[in-house]
Structure 1
Amino acid sequence: MAWLDLLGWRREASALYARVREELPRDPQAAHQLWQTGRNALFGHHPQSPLDAAARTAFTALPCWPYDPALAFSARVDTSGPQERLTVPSSTGQDMPLVRFGQVTLPVGTLDVYWIDVYGGGVFLPFRDATSGQQSYGGGRYLLDTAKSADLGSTAAGELRLDFNFAYHPSCFYDPRWSCPLARPQNVLGGPVRAGERAG
């Protein structure tokens, strides 16, 4: 049953991000509210919620900073540099194979972009910032994870939409039984990013 529950979670997450991508160009704040409402529903009621049964009973909403349009960007991935194959530890110590295949340069800093090098794969962009370990998870947050459908799409010019207001905590933040790849030192931003999900 757990495998079918996981399938249901992924379908619902995929459908949520599809609605968000449709709304985002028209009304970013409405898209952000849609995203929050959808994630709250999944966390509060879905059997594959990262929260355990006791935490789901007490759950009301995931804490988020207010939407800040100054932290919504789009950027082209620079793939001109060499690719780098990596094996990075997850939150539980398990190895995760990644390929660093490019970088994005944003007003808040430069971040490496990875391919999760397992079956199915996916583009992956984690980060840490000056809030990590205090106002957000010390292991970082995720800006893009296409393996989990967490993808805001691209602009007409082919740039990735990278809106920090949609940054979210990995499942291991809520329960250590989950295994999550963490942000590498290359993806640590110097300043605080007070957007997206935060610690309670």
Structure 2
Amino acid sequence: MTQKTVDQDSGHQHADRNPWLSLLDWRRRVSKLYEDVRNSADPQAAHTTWKAGRDALFGGHLQSPLTPEARAAFTGLPYWPYDPGLVFRVPVDTDVAPERFVIQTSAGHDMPLTRFGRVTLPFGTLDVYWIDVYGGGVFLPLRDATSGRESYGGGRYLLDTVKGADLGGAAGGELRLDFNFAYHPSCFYDHRWSCPLAPPANVLKVRIEAGERAIP
């Protein structure tokens, strides 16, 4: 029996019969969602589009991190109101010494990372990592004073380009960091997922009341 999702196009139905094709479909949809964000001239409108797109994926896609029971009762992810004061374009400081290390994921697996830069924000600094596996990708996780209370204790992700979560920036090394797009990793919803957690260097002392939250 083939499980069908909200989108009933023939390609998506075919993906439903194969978990690898289903994962490919998920990745394509996430990448398209972030492409729309990068191409939008209105960040707040792009944020609304992003939230609607994530709700559609979480509620109707086989690769949703939600359990089947949670998916059946799903009505949408909770977010803080959009805050235009938490949008930055910052250069990556690459004068910091590169450091390669292995962190533990939520499931106790090893994840190799290379710290290759740092960004400075009005409320602190965050290290920028390269996920040191085949293909690689920029990874920027964070924890803040809401972590473990109004958001996941293991932190949230701002960028994870391996998964298509890329807000863009200038080719010269500048990153667009919009904290309204901070989101929870899959392990927040179901422990069967294994997710790298925010390292100690990426813990902010302030409250980042933007992006996805744990409670409405």
* TM bin (shorter chain): over 0.9
Deviation per CA, 1:53-81, whole angstroms, max 9, x where unpaired? 11111001110000000111111110112
2:74 to 49, 59, 77: 59
Match of 1:47 in 2: 62
TM-score by length of 2: 0.90
1:88 to 93, 103, 118: 103
Match of 1:11 in 2: 28
Structure 2 stretches lacking a partner, 5+ long: 1-17
Q: Distance in 2 between matches of 1:83 and 1:2?
A: 37
AA aligned to 1:122 is G
Q: Secondary structure at the match of 1:124?
A: strand
**Structure (1 or 2) with the larger CA radius of gyration:** 2
Match of 1:164 in 2: 179
- 1:107 shift after superposition: 1.1
Q: Counterparts in 2 of 1:1-200, with a 5 A limit? A: 1-23=18-40, 26-155=41-170, 158-200=173-215
Q: Secondary structure at the match of 1:119?
A: coil
Deviation per CA, 1:84-118, whole angstroms, max 9, x where unpaired? 01100000000000000010001121000000000
Question: In the comparison of the two structures, how many residue pairs are matched?
Answer: 198
Cα RMSD of the aligned pairs, angstroms, is 1.0
TM-score by length of 1: 0.97
Q: Distance in 2 between matches of 1:164 and 1:81?
A: 23
Structure 1 stretches lacking a partner, 5+ long: none
Closer, same or farther: CA 156–147 of 1 in aligned 2, 3 Å: closer
Identity %: 69
